[in-house]
């Protein structure tokens, strides 16, 4: 990945992400299927392949910033992924959203790793909205 511009990548487990995860302070965005920015943030720490820490905010409420940390650890012949989402405001819309979102994302990741096919979490979100 060359240059200083953000690139768009599609991850079956997460959807579309505009990323610059290589450098502390770099900005990143999470896009919905319509390519609207749902989440935005900055890289706090990038220590491949062990740790990635990001700020996490709704682009319409940039004063409510939380933090997500992804950590990989080898345990015998397995790899353990630890996702920590902290610095969330009690009772916030973001807290409610990530409390539903992370289990879906991680379940989709597990399905993808086991079967090669991710769960369509966007389909689940559309069903929730319609209910």
- Predicted local distance difference test score (pLDDT) of residue 8: 40
Strand order in the sheet with 37-47: 7-11, 15-19, 27-31, 37-47, 51-56, 66-75, 78-86
**Sequence spans of domains, the chain:** 7-130
**Torsional class of 55: left (φ above 0), alpha (ψ -120 to 50), beta (otherwise):** beta
**Residue 19 pLDDT grade (very low, low, confident, very high; cuts 50, 70, 90):** low
Least confident of 3-12, 46-55, 82-91, 107-116: 3-12
* Mean pLDDT in residue range 94-109: 90
Res. 89: pLDDT tops 80: yes
Res. 11: pLDDT tops 70: no
Query: How many other CB atoms are found less than 10 A from the CB of residue 24?
Result: 11
- Predicted local distance difference test score (pLDDT) of residue 29: 87
CATH architecture of residue range(s) 7-130: 2-Layer Sandwich (3.30)
> What's the start-to-end Cα distance of the chain, in Å?
41
Residue 83 CA from chain centroid, whole number: 10
User: pLDDT by residue (tens digit) across 47-75?
Assistant: 888 888 999 999 999 989 999 999 999 99
- pTM, two decimals, is 0.76
- Predicted local distance difference test score (pLDDT) of residue 130: 58
Q: Report the relative pairing of strands 78-86 and 66-75 from DSSP bridges.
A: antiparallel
């Amino acid at each position: 990945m060359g240059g200083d511009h953000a690139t768009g990548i599609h991850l079956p487990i997460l959807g579309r992400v505009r990323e610059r995860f290589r450098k502390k302070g770099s900005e990143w965005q999470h896009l919905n299927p319509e390519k609207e920015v749902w989440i935005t943030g900055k890289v706090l720490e990038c220590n491949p392949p062990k740790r990635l820490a990001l700020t996490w905010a709704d682009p319409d409420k940039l004063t409510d910033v939380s933090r997500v940390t992804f950590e990989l650890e080898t345990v015998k012949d397995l790899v353990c992924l630890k996702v920590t989402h902290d610095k969330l405001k009690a009772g916030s819309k973001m807290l409610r959203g990530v409390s539903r979102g992370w289990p879906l994302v991680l379940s989709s990741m597990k399905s993808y790793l086991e079967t090669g096919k991710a769960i369509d979490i966007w389909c689940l979100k559309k069903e929730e909205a319609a209910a």
